[in-house]
Amino acid sequence: MVNTRKNRLLPVWVFKLVGFSSLATALIGVAIYLFKKYPPRRKLTREPAENTSEHVPIATQKSSWSKGFFGVRKNKKKMTISLKNTVLWNPSPDVNTPMYAFQENSIQILTRLSCLYDIYVIVHVNSEEEKGDIQRLLENASSTDGLFVDGVDNRKIIFCSEEEGKIHIIRHIEPHMHVEGGWEKDDGEDIIQKLKPFVSKLIWIQKRKDAPSHPNVELADLLMHTSIAQQDLIRLPILQQSHHEQFSKRDVIPAIPLYNANAREYLVQIGIGTPPQLFNVTLDTGSSDLWVPSSKCPATTCPYSRFIEKDSKTLNSTNKNFQVQYGSGSAQGKVVYDSVTINGNLTSTHQVMGLANTTQGMSGPSSASNEKASGILGLGFAGLMRDPQGDAPFILNLLNNNIINEPVFSIYLNKQGDYGYTGEIVIGGYETSRFTGQLSFLPVVTYGSTGKANLGETGSAENGVNKYWTIPGQAIAAYDVNGTQVYETRLDQLEPVILDTGTTLSYLPQAMVTSLLDLVTTNYTALALNSGTIQAYQVNCQDFTRQHLWFDFQFSPSTLTFSNDPVKIRVPLNEMVLPQDTNTMETATTCLFGIAPISTSFLNSVGSGWILGQTVLRSAYVVHDMLGLQVGIGAAANGYHSPTMDGEESNGVCVTPITFLLSAFFSLLTYLAIIMTE
């Protein structure tokens, strides 16, 4: 019998090995692709109430203060703390024989603060014996509480023998914040006065009840009573459901809606007066004033809600005039004080505000929106208020009323086309489920006496004023669908970038706007809006919805120099265009480019810079910290998945559908070869 079976080039087991390997590769590819495309929810660090998503106080990115965290946090600001009379106290009645001990909860507070700040501990000692006693006390704290292992680097515990030496050390460290303590015989006022011009924020813990206050000095009698030590949180989610439903499951954490009015503005409901009169006001981080129309404002210019003064029992009227000017409108009236409620029980009493008798260009969005704007809630700094006079803007007044413990708020706008109640604002912290990756923190840029931003080597933070939520901008780049960089403009110097939720478009210098447009299309038309006060560009919608580009807006974590590892807001191209002839992108044929040339009148007042409005901010989760004078930025969890860009890490794996389809195809061919050769 003749054996007709052909000799194989390779044994069967080789084909099987290749086949099984290909199949395994295909399955692993599928798993990795699905994991990348649909990442799991971040594990909560504690059980939220009634299935609400996790909310985190600004003093921490996690509720656990474990060692692992300290390697994650980047761009910490410096904090110096005088150890005596803040963390340590002397219970001995004899000053010459001190017996130091830790203040109640001071170790826990320091540990929490170390997650937000790079802490330097300054200790003024009168003798080597006193130094030894304090060192032993700190060593015991290290062994029992882990404080100076996990929280404070023991190399940053600095002893000095003179008060002048302590001041010199603090100025050399250049902290963002300093905590100073005092007692009956030495309340620390001299140090506070000497540091006041050089440190942005001073916490003064003292026993004296009549101590003078200053704009950058916070008074307290214990460390645990300061705003930096508090961590209460008020969460204000915006849910796509009826007003009645959103309160039915929120017994502990109050909630209010924020309304996306056709991607033109974002509205939040507040109540003014006693009893509250309800208003939908524009949420605006680019201004600091709160105002609503009065009953005297004509219905032609104030067509929606108007405040009736005689119906409020808590109204305190004044003779001061109120006038505010925006890029696209203005309001005039008088200054009043009244209670302002933001969620039914969070009330800011004696809140300064404007009652507008006349307005121009402030009538709100188109009639297609179900909600109409009747006023503006400014969330900027006090330096931007039209008539500060010692009055506090809304967030700071909530702090002054002991309604919140930290002047912090975080905003999530969601995607452009998600109209209605689809975003979220958090007061007192931030929401972990609303961003991906880590938050990166940037300093808030101050403005000098000339109105120019304090940036670069020539800038000076001394006597600087906080106005806008301004951060240091350094570059813009663009990437295609494969992650290849196709455009970059690196600035000659750091530029101030204002984050403004009250602005529909974003604004850059003319040359940058047209160069970005040219990446996408040459078919665009310049036009004027609002009687020529704002220039914009009309484009074909499909030129933007059919292409896959990503714009990177890049920022430096330093106010002095450029960074090789900038913080980025990454925006997909389809978020950079707005429907013009209809209210939805699905039906629109003509659109507006989401970036417009910045006006020369604005540049004349601030010198230079950008304004990033809703077209950019929808792609970011932004934490605004009024006390820490910083902005936290994370990638908004809005369903977009950008490719790995040039120069960025891909976590060692780059998987696409083609990867596992090809693997599965070759696996099938291998099995067919095995069958045919058996």
3-state per-residue secondary structure call for 160-202: ECCHHHHHHHHHHHCCCEEEEECCCCCCCHHHHHHHCCCCCEE
Q: Which tokens go with 408?
A: 């912090």
Residue 180, pLDDT score: 87
Angle between helices 12-37 and 657-677 (to 10 degrees): 160
Mean pLDDT to the nearest integer, 428-436:
84
**CATH tag, 256-405:** 2.40.70.10
- Does domain 59-229 sit in CATH 3.40.50.1000? yes
Find the mean pLDDT for residues 288-300.
92
Instruction: State the Cα–Cα distance between residues 180 and 199, nearest whole angstrom.
Output: 12
Where is 591: in which H helix or E strand? strand 590-593
**Three-state SS at 221:** coil
Calculate what percentage of the chain has a pLDDT beyond 70.
Answer: 69
**pLDDT of 638 strictly over 70:** yes
**59-229 and 420-636 agree in CATH topology:** no
What single DSSP character describes residue 428?
Answer: S
CATH class name, domain 420-636: mainly beta
Beta-carbon count within 10 A of 45 CB: 15
The mean-pLDDT minimum among 249-263, 392-406, 534-548, 664-678 falls in 249-263
How many Å from the N-terminal Cα to the C-terminal Cα in the chain?
A: 19
Q: Is 133 a catalytic residue?
A: no
DSSP conformation class of 319? E
Q: Is the pLDDT of residue 579 over 50?
A: yes
Helix axis angle for 128-145 and 106-113, nearest 10°, is 80
Active site residue: 118, 187, 284, 543, which one? Answer: 284
Q: Catalytic one among 187, 500, 543, 552?
A: 500
CB burial of residue 47 (10 Å; 0-12, 13-18, 19+) = exposed
pLDDT at 433: 84
What was the pLDDT predicted at 242? 27
| Domain edges within the chain | 59-229, 256-405, 420-636
Which residues are within 8 A (CB) of 259 and not within 5 positions of it... i.e. 6 or more apart? 238, 266, 267, 268, 280, 370, 371, 420, 421
Give DSSP secondary structure letters for 349-398.
EEEEEEEEEEEES-S-S-TTSSS---SEEE-S-GGG-SS-TT---HHHHH
Model pTM score:
0.62
Q: What is the pLDDT of residues 186-207, one digit of tens each?
A: 667 888 888 887 888 888 887 6
For the chain, give the mean pLDDT. 76
Which tens digits make up the pLDDT trace of 104-117?
667 767 776 776 67
The pLDDT value given to residue 234: 41
Residues 372 and 358: beta-carbon distance below 8 Å = no
For the ranges 232-246, 367-381, 607-621, which has the lowest average pLDDT? 232-246
Known active-site residue 500: yes
Question: What HEC string does 441-452 produce?
Answer: EEECCCECCCCC
Quick: pLDDT tens for 566-575. Answer: 999 999 999 9
